[in-house]
Amino acid sequence: MTRTAKNEPPGVVWLGTPHFPVAARTAVGDPQLRENLRRATTTIRSRRLAAVGELDDWEDLRTAGAAVKRAALRHLDTHLLRLEESVERAGGTVHWAADAAEANRIVTELVRATGEREVVKVKSMATQEIGLNEALSAAGITAYETDLAELIVQLADDRPSHILVPAIHKNRTEIRELFTTTMGQWGRPAPENLTADPAALAEAARLHLRERFLRARVAVSGANFACADTGTVVVVESEGNGRMCLTLPETLITVMGIEKVLPTFADLDVFLQLLPRSATGERMNPYTSMWTGTHDGDGPRDFHLVLLDNGRTATLRDTVGRQALACIRCSACLNVCPVYERTGGHAYGSPYPGPIGAVLTPQLAGIEHAPSLPFASTLCGACYDACPVKIDIPEVLLHLRARAVESKRGPLPSPEALVMKAAATTLASPRALAWAQRAAALGGRVLARRGVLRRLPGPLARWSASRDTAAPPRETFRAWWRRTHRRPGQ
Amino acid sequence: MRIALFVTCLCDTLYPQTGKAVVALLERLGHRVDFPRAQTCCGQMHFNTGYRPEALPLVRGFADAFAGYDAVVTPSASCAGMVREHHRTLAVQYGEPELAAAVDRLAPRVHELSEFLVDVLGVTDVGAYFPHRVTYHPTCHSLRMLRTGDRPLRLLRAVRGIELVELPEAESCCGFGGTFALKNAEVSAAMLADKVRQVSASRADVLCAADSSCLLHIGGGLSRLRTGIGTRHLAEILAATEGAER
Ligand code: SF4
């Protein structure tokens, strides 16, 4: 796998921020962020539970969704070629991009060819992943985000911190402040005396964005699904901004990860049930746009579909890790994750945060670029239970942890590797274990005060910073058994 | 039925009273329990931290130590889960078909305590007496890996004298996660803080769970904040009887 070469830059933007444990430490210490996250995730969680609880066949739907996705990935090449054929038959053009740089180059050239210097954007994870806005900007093209939360993030010159609610880390007051001070620099300013009322904030964004929609001649979107048999591409959104971008401009460029292809149009059935309930806790999605190629006098006259690999084929080769490609980006795993709830998305250093980010980013970018992410979990399993396509995230985390450890093994073992090796040797024999237990009990009793260890040495100090530990008892279970059960052969 | 106790390395070293409670409980129910002295550890710490080659000998050791028993009982959902879900993975990954076969024979006979009592022995009332106000934290691995469901609560409800109170947001993780508590100590502590808050809000005097590792973690937080709330493993409550209360 060429992408795992150390000197090669990752194809996923914005890695290399401090490693997760360091970034998380800062996030955990920010009470405003914690409050924003606690409120938002609690609300979405309970909405999802209610929406899912309404269906008797939810488990069957999950099983069906998982089966369709896994089957689609098994014959990905066939489906992609079929998709290309269908899209071109319907009047669209298909481009293949091996990595982020190639995708950015293709989109930039397509925009240049139109002579435009502005594009409107529908919220898209794939373009976040490849850093398209930055690439366009370097070519003198301005990309305007039109999803409310993405607009907030763009105005704040910030990074998204959630797949579905990219500005989840900001509250209403912060948004009001931001709109008042920055909207004018980008276009129509916020109304005077703007309040922090959600309706007022949405209205300010609506007015600001309206002129963009009417002026835009090129739009860039991602895709939630694409059907190989018909060539139909699907975008699922809830504000209507996507519908505007997908229908008004003359040129539409869609960047889509290759794993989004579904064999048939009929497969949408399960996913359009699974996605809204898992994502926002809605029974039905508000705006579902579907288009098949181009049509005279209706919608864009030029449609380009850029199929993005960027590490996906390499991920497919990993028989355990590949299930992460089944993800439909619903964010349910983020919302139920106790770690995400406390750190927010920025700590994950990638557009894909939370449990799915912890398993996807290291695979797309190469494990050496994100070695701490698979460890950003307690393995509590809440993500697996919530996932509408049954991705066994804990299993993939464990698998990637092993890969991370193996990739670091060298002639000089790390301190952690030495401790693990010593522990393995000790645990390999009951005799060595008993000896170590005696040593631990002795050390423990020396350090303990009134039977409690308040401060532990070395790396264990991180444990004892917030937790007491009872001093080890004088007699282990093993020793007790030996003393009380003197039966030979036991 | 030949029953073996897998006490786990943690209980063995730090919580021998939990292992003794399992023995006392099963003997009270009329069974003889063996402690195969060759046992050490299921390898979970190594496996979960990514050190798979180091975990493999422990899988072998486990299979050897417990071969020949009809049932292996352990007071840890997470160690039972390790054996049942992951020992096979390791044997297969390192190309050891004989070990994989041994794991396949053994793993279905490894039971977490509440599973063993309810499913194998078919009892929920074990004749325990524990006159305290108790709240129960379902650990992540009993809840979402083993799916022990309400078995522990059914056992607790049958205990005489007990006052069971509800734990708010019971199903959220306490933040332990093995080496997670060291690698991401602050996030772990933030999760612990919320769990401690909920345990206090339950107004219980005793926190009960079916995993000593989680009790080590939550108990450590309860003690640090001087809440005065103690911890008891499920086995200890079920082993307690009138007159011999622990
Ligand atoms: S991994 Fe599953 S739960 Fe998480 S975003 Fe993807 S589909 Fe949703």
Cβ atoms of A14 and A350 within 8 Å: the answer is yes
What is the model's pLDDT at position A445?
Answer: 81
Mean per-residue pLDDT, A232-246: 95
**Per-residue pLDDT tens for B82-139?**
999 999 999 999 999 999 999 999 999 999 999 999 999 999 999 999 999 999 999 9
Interface test with B, best of A319, A380, A460, A484 (most B CBs within 10 A): A380
The yes-or-no verdict on residue A182 having pLDDT over 70 is: yes
What are the tens digits of pLDDT across the range A282-327? 999 999 999 999 999 899 999 999 999 999 999 999 999 999 999 9
Greater confidence, A445 or B36? B36
- Inter-chain residue contact A382 with B61, CB threshold 8 Å: no
Chain A residue with Cα closest to B52: A402
Alpha carbons within 13 A on the beta-carbon side of B200: 13
Q: For residue A14, what pLDDT band results from cuts at 50, 70 and 90?
A: low
pLDDT (average), residues A187-213: 93
User: Of the given ranges (A308-322, A464-478, B163-177), which has the lowest mean pLDDT?
Assistant: A464-478
Cα of A281 vs centre of ligand 1, distance in Å, is 14
Say if residue A168's pLDDT is above 90: no
**Which residue has 């998982």 as its token pair?**
A66
Interval between CA A163 and ligand 1 midpoint (Å): 10
Residue-range domain boundaries for chain B: 3-120, 133-239
Q: Which of B20, B50, B219 sits opposite A401 (nearest CB)?
A: B50
**pLDDT tens digits, A66-106:** 999 999 999 999 999 999 999 999 999 999 999 999 999 99
Of A165 and A217, the structure prediction assigns the larger pLDDT to A217
pLDDT in tens, B3-12: 999 999 999 9
Q: Helix, strand, coil proportions of chain A in percent (round to 5)?
A: 55, 10, 35
Closest chain B residue to the Cα of A375, Cα to Cα = B180
Quick check: B246 pLDDT over 50? no
Task: Report the residue of A333, A346, A378, A384 to disrupt the B interface, i.e. the one with the largest count of B CBs within 10 Å.
Answer: A378
Q: List domains and CATH numbers for chain A.
A: 20-312 (3.40.50.10420), 417-484 (no CATH)
**Residue of minimum CA distance from atom 3 in ligand 1:** A387
Beta strand ranges found along chain B (DSSP E) = 3-5, 33-34, 71-74, 110-112, 133-136, 163-165, 206-209, 230-233
* Nearest residue to A477 (alpha-carbon basis) of B212, B192, B12, B160: B12
- Chain mean position to CA B68: 23
Higher pLDDT, A16 or B40: B40
Residue A6 has pLDDT above 80, yes or no: no
Q: Shortest CA distance to A163 belongs to which of A373, A339, A328?
A: A328
Q: Could you give the CA distance from residue A322 to residue A273 in angstroms, rounded to a whole number?
A: 24
Average pLDDT of chain A is 93
User: Distance from first CA to last CA of chain A, Å, rounded?
Assistant: 51
* Cα–Cα distance for residue pair A306/A256, rounded to 1 Å: 6
The pLDDT value recorded for residue A402 is: 97
Tens-place pLDDT, residues A454-463: 988 888 999 9
What's the CA-to-centroid distance between A430 and ligand 1, angstroms? Answer: 43
Task: Calculate what percentage of chain B has a pLDDT beyond 70.
Answer: 99
Residue A253 has pLDDT above 70, yes or no: yes
Residues 464-483 of A with CB under 8 A from B: 465-470, 472-473, 475-478, 480-482
Is B214 within 8 Å of chain A by CB? no
Kindly list the distances between the CA atom of residue B143 and the CA atoms of A66, A99, A244, A322, B196, in Å, as whole numbers in the listed order.
22, 41, 45, 26, 19
Kindly list the residues from chain A whose CB atom is less than 8 angstroms away from the CB atom of residue B54.
420-421, 423-424
Query: How distant is the alpha carbon of residue B75 from its chain centre?
Result: 4
Q: Is the pLDDT of residue A2 over 70?
A: no
List chain A residues with CB under 8 Å of B75.
none
End-to-end C-alpha distance for chain B, whole angstroms: 29
Nearest to A252 by CA among A211, A223, A272, A225: A223
Is ipTM strictly over 0.90?
A: yes
Q: Residue A93: helix, strand or coil by DSSP?
A: strand
Q: Give the pTM.
A: 0.95
pLDDT band per the 50, 70, 90 thresholds, residue A8? low
β pairing state of A232-237 and A142-145? unpaired
Protein residue with its CA nearest to atom 2 in ligand 1: A387
Supply the CATH classification number for the domain B133-239. Answer: 3.40.50
What pLDDT shows up at residue A410? 86
Is A20–B223 a contact, with Cβ atoms under 8 angstroms apart? no
Give the model's pLDDT for residue B244: 62
Q: Which of residues 19-58 of A touch B (CB under 8 A)?
A: 20-21, 24-25, 28-29, 34
Q: What is the mean pLDDT of residues B170-186?
A: 95
**Alpha carbon of B140 to ligand 1 centroid (Å):** 19
**Residue-wise pLDDT tens digits, A335-388:** 999 999 999 999 999 999 999 999 999 999 999 889 999 999 999 999 999 999
pLDDT confidence bin for A9, thresholds 50/70/90:
low
Angle between the N-to-C axes of helices A172-186 and A148-155, in degrees from 0 to 180, rounded to the nearest 10: 70
Query: Across the interface, do B184 and A481 touch by the CB < 8 Å criterion?
Result: no
Write down the H helix ranges in A216-309: 241-247, 268-279
Please report, for residues A122, A167, A182, A212, the alpha-carbon distance to residue A188 in angstroms, rounded to integers and kept in the order given: 19, 21, 10, 10
Contacts of A475 in chain B (CB under 8 A): 16
Pick from A424, A441, A466: CB nearest B224: A466
Q: What does the pLDDT read at residue A7?
A: 53
Predicted confidence (pLDDT) per residue in A256-285, tens digit: 999 999 999 999 999 999 999 999 999 999
